[in-house]
Amino acid sequence: MGQAKKRKQRFLTDHTQCCYCGLPATTIDHFPPRNFFKGRHWPVGYEFPACHTCNHAKSRDEQSLGLLVRLIRFDTDPDTREFQEALTAVRNNNPILIKELVPKSAVASKLYLRNRFGSAENVGGLGLTGWRGLSIGPEANRLTDNMCVWFAQTAWYLHCHSIFEGRIIWSRIETEFLGHEAAQQIVSNLVGQPEMLRNGKNVSNDFFYRYFASDDILVSIFQFGQRPQMVFVVCATRKGAINTDLELAKLWGQRNIDLS
C-alpha cells in the first residue's frame, strides 16, 4: 500500500463520519478547495471526512468558486496562466456563470470605486486606477451561498468537534466596513485566529479567518487574499440552542441543516 493510501486510511480511521451529512466517510475533502490557492498551496489541516455523495456533489461548484474567489480579490492578475485555466474550465462546465460575469463599463467601474473609497486620489493610492468591475448574478450568489454553508460545516467540525446540525446564517460585506468601530468590537471577540501553513510557509495571503466557537455557536469572518473586495460573515447555531424563528434582514442568507 502506498503512503498516500496509508495516510487516507489512518485519517478515515480517526474520522469516521462525513462532516456534511453524518454518514460513513469514505473520502477526504479539502475545504477551502485546493484550486482556491495560488499554485495549489493549500494550508495543512483543512482536510475533512466526507462520503462520496457529498464530496462529488460539491466538485463542479468548487471549480466555479475557484474562479469567483479570484475575481473578488483586488490583487488578481487575469493574465496569469492559472487564472486563464480557471476561466477556461468554468467556461466549459458552467456557461451560466460566465454569461453572468459581464464587465461593467469604465465609467460605471470608476463610479463604483469612488463611492467605496471616496476620491480618485484614494482609488489611485490603492492601485485601482483602471480597474474594471463585473456584474454578480443569481448563479454567483448561489455559489457563494453554498461556500458559506460549507465553511460553517467544516469550521464547526474543526473547532467544535462534531457534525453540525442546526441553523447557518451568512452575509457578504464590503471590506472597508470592518474598519468601523462597531465592526471592530465584534472582530475583537473573534479570538480564534488559525495559522495557515504549507511546508512551513504562511499561505494566509490566499485565505484568512477569525472565529469564536462554543458548544452552541460558531461565529466567523473569512476572506480570500490580502486585498479582498468583500468578506464573508458566518454564524452557525446548534439545533435547539436558540429560537430559529427570528427574522433576518434581507442581506442575510440562511439554511437549516437537519440530519434526522
Residue-wise pLDDT tens digits, 181-197 = 988 988 899 999 998 99
- Mean pLDDT score, 150-160: 98
* Residue 19, pLDDT score: 98
CA dist 222 and 149 (Å) reads 13
Contact 73, 225 (CB under 8 A): yes
Strand, helix or coil at 233?
strand
Nearest Cα to Cα of residue 58 among 172, 141, 150, 148: 150
* Residue 61, pLDDT score: 97
* Residue 110, pLDDT score: 92
Nearest Cα to Cα of residue 231 among 158, 164, 144, 168: 144
Nearest Cα to Cα of residue 37 among 65, 13, 10: 65
* Residue 201, pLDDT score: 87
pLDDT tens column, 209-253 = 999 999 999 999 999 988 899 999 999 999 887 766 667 667 899
**For cell 464547526, what's the residue?**
156
Give Cβ neighbours of residue 234 (< 8 Å, ≥ 6 apart). Answer: 148, 151, 152, 155, 168, 169, 170, 218, 219, 220, 221, 222
Contact 24, 55 (CB under 8 A): no
CA dist 231 and 226 (Å) reads 11
pLDDT tens column, 108-126 = 999 999 999 988 899 999 8
- By CB atoms closer than 10 A (0-12, 13-18, 19+), residue 195 is exposed
Rg, C-alpha atoms of the chain: 19
pLDDT tens column, 13-57 = 999 999 999 999 999 999 999 999 988 889 999 999 999 999 999
Does pTM top 0.95 for this prediction?
no
Nearest Cα to Cα of residue 227 among 117, 82, 111: 117
pLDDT tens column, 241-259 = 776 666 766 789 999 999 9
